[in-house]
A and B are shown apart, each in its own frame.
Chain A
C-alpha cells in the first residue's frame, strides 16, 4: 500500500467517523488521486484567480507570472495571510506540481 493510499485510508476513516458523528450516515466515496489542475481551479483556485488564472480578481493574474517554480510552490503551500490560504497537506506534491505546470501553460482565451 502506498503512503498516499495509506494516508487516504486513514483520513477516509477519520472522515467517516466525523461525518457519522454528525448523523451523516456512510460517507461519500473519496475520489481517486491525483486531482487535475483544471479540477482544482474549477473547485478552489478560481474563486480568487479569475478566468482560470488568466485574469486578476481577488488574487493576482497567474498567466505570465514572473515567480519562479519554487516561489509558486511556496505560495500554494504556505498561502499569504489575509490574501490566500495555505494548501500544504490539502493538495499533494504531485498535485501542486501539476498546478505549476498548468500556470506555466496558461494562454489567453
Chain B
C-alpha cells in the first residue's frame, strides 16, 4: 500500500472513531418492565418516580457517605424555563442520562455528568384552559419505558416522547379538561405494557378516574372511577353515595402509585371526596352533601394492571370529612421476619401498615397534633371518636388542610431498617357552609368552607423529619424544622438522609443518629424531588429540584414571613452535586 493510502486510512479511521465516540457518549439501553423490576441490579439508575417499584426513595450508591460528605460540591445546575410555581418534579436517570419535567409540560434530557442539554420538549397546551386552573401549571414527574418518556398534561392528555430524540411519538386525550377543569399533574407509572396515571379530583365535581394506556400505542386499556367504582361492575359502589352525589364526588389519584410484583397489583392512593367539608356532622351516614362512606375516596386500592379490576382495597377514612387524602402517600413494600408489608402514609398524619392484600396490620401516628379523630384502631383501621363538622364555625381542627403529611415522599433505608418522613404540625379554624357544585360553564372547586391556618395547641406551627420503625412507628430520632419541609427525602447506602428544606438548605443527616453532617444553600426553597444516580464518569451524583410556589408553600409568606415573601414564584433550577 502506498504511503498516502496508509495516511488516508489512518485519517478515515480516526474520523470514524470520533463520530462513534460522539454517538457512544449518549447510549441508551431500553427501559423495560423487567429492567425496572430488577432495579436492584442497576444501582446507578433511578428508573421510576419512587426509585423502584418498592418505593423506597433509596439509593444503593455509597461513594457519597458519612466520611466523604463534607467534600460534596455543586457539579452543575440547570434552569427550567418559565418555571411558574417552582420545580416540583422527581428527575429520573437511566444510563447516565437525566430526564426531568417542569411547568407547562416541558421535559429535558441532560447529560448526568455535565448537565448539558441533549434534548428539550415542550407540549403545545390549551393555554386558555391552563390560565383558568388553580392546581396548575406544575408537573410532578414522568415515567420511562419502551423508548418513551411518558407525561400527563395540564389539558388532560398522556404523551409519549421519544427517549433518544425528544420528538413526540404519540399523545392521547383522556380527560375533557376544558369542561371538567381537572387534568394530570402527577407522574405516570409504567407497569408491564401499560402506562397508568391518575387524574386530579378531590376538589372538583367529577369522578376522579385512573387510566391505563397501552405503552406502545397510546390506546386506552381501562379506566377506574375512584368515585363509585365502575358502573355495573363488581366494584360498583355508587350506593355509598347519597342521592346523586357520586356524579360530583371528587376523588382522583393525583400522585404516583406503586406496584407489587409478587401479587401483580398496582396500588394507588385515592383523593378526598367533594365537597371537602360536609355539613352533615355526625349524621354523615344519612344526611349532608354526600351521605355514606363515599367509596373509593381516601382509600388505598389494588388494581389489576391489565384489566383495571379492583382486587382489594382499604378505605383509610370512610366519609372523609377533612380532605385527608390517601393520594399523598407512597407504598413502601418491605419484608420483615418473612412477612410482606405495605406501609402507606395518609394526609391526616397517620401511617397505615398493611399486608400485601391491604389488610390492616397496624396504624401509627407520625404527627402530634391530630384531633379530626381521637384515634384509629391499630388492629382494624376503624376510626375512633370522629370529629364530624356541622354547618357553622369550628376552631382548631388539626391538622391543617395541607395535611399532617403532604405529597412529598419519605424514604426507607434497608441498611438502618428505618423509615424517614416529614410530618407537619399545624391546625385550622373553619366555617363550614352548604355549597352547590358549580358545573357550568367550567367545573369549579367545591371546598365547602372558609378557613384559615392557625398554630397548633402545643406551640408554633412547624415540621419535623423523623426516623422510625416503619411497622411499629417506634421513633429513633427527630429533627425539628421551623416550617414544614415540602420536598421529598432521599436516603442512601452511604448512611445519609438528604432533606431539602423549605428555606433552601439541602441538608445531609446521619441516617443512624439524625446528626447534621453537611448543608448547602441552594438559593431558593425546595418543593420537589431528589434522586441519586451514577453518571458516565463513574461518579455518584445527587440531583435536587429547587424552586418555590406550590399550593402548600403559598401559605408560607403570609403565615411565616421571611424568607418566603422574598422567593420568586417562577424559578426552577435542578442542582446536581458530586464529590471532587
Taken together as a complex, chains A and B put the C-alpha atoms of A59 and B134 apart, in Å, by 12
Q: How far is the CB of B131 from chain A (nearest CB, A)?
A: 5
Main secondary structure on chain B at its contact with chain A? Answer: loop
Q: A50-B450, A57-B555 are in contact. Are A90 and B441 (CB under 8 A)?
A: yes
How distant is the Cα of A105 from the Cα of B90 in the complex, in angstroms?
45
9 contacts across the A-B interface (CB closer than 8 A) = A8-B440, A44-B445, A46-B451, A48-B134, A51-B429, A52-B450, A56-B558, A85-B131, A89-B442
Residues A14 and B438 in contact, CB atoms below 8 Å apart: no
B179 within 8 A of A: yes
Contact B132 A58 (CB under 8 A): no
The 4 closest A-B pairs by CB, nearest first: A58-B554, A56-B558, A42-B433, A50-B452
Interface size class on chain B is 35 or more
Whether the Cβ atoms of B132 and A41 lie closer than 8 Å is no
Q: Does B413 contact A (CB under 8 A)?
A: no
Known: A15-B439, A24-B247, A81-B131. A43 touches B445 (CB 8 A): yes
A86 touches B132 (CB 8 A): yes
Interface residues of A in 9-27 (CB under 8 A from B): 11-12, 14-15, 18-19, 21-25, 27
Q: A86 CB to closest chain B CB, in angstroms?
A: 5
Q: A42-B450, A43-B437, A47-B134 are in contact. List 17 more A-B contacts (CB 8 A).
A: A28-B247, A28-B248, A31-B436, A42-B433, A43-B448, A46-B451, A50-B450, A50-B451, A52-B431, A57-B555, A58-B555, A82-B137, A85-B131, A85-B133, A86-B132, A90-B438, A90-B442
A60 CA / B565 CA spacing, docked (Å) = 12
| A38 CB-CB contact with B under 8 Å | yes
Contacts of A44 in B (CB 8 A): 438, 444-445, 447
Minimum Cβ distance to chain B for residue A29 (Å) = 9
| Residues in A neighbouring B494, C-beta threshold 8 A | none
Q: Could you say which residues of chain A place their CB within 8 Å of the CB of B569?
A: 82-83
Contacts of B453 in A (CB 8 A): 50, 57
Digitize B437-469: 1 where CB-to-A-CB distance is under 8 Å, 0 elsewhere.
Answer: 111111011111111110000000000000000
Q: Given A19, A48, A52, A87, which contacts B554 in the complex, CB threshold below 8 Å?
A: A48
A46-B450 contact given A15-B439, A58-B551, A82-B549, CB 8 Å threshold: yes
Q: Give Cα A12–Cα B441 distance, bound, in whole angstroms.
A: 8
Residues of chain B lying within 8 A (CB to CB) of residue A14: 179
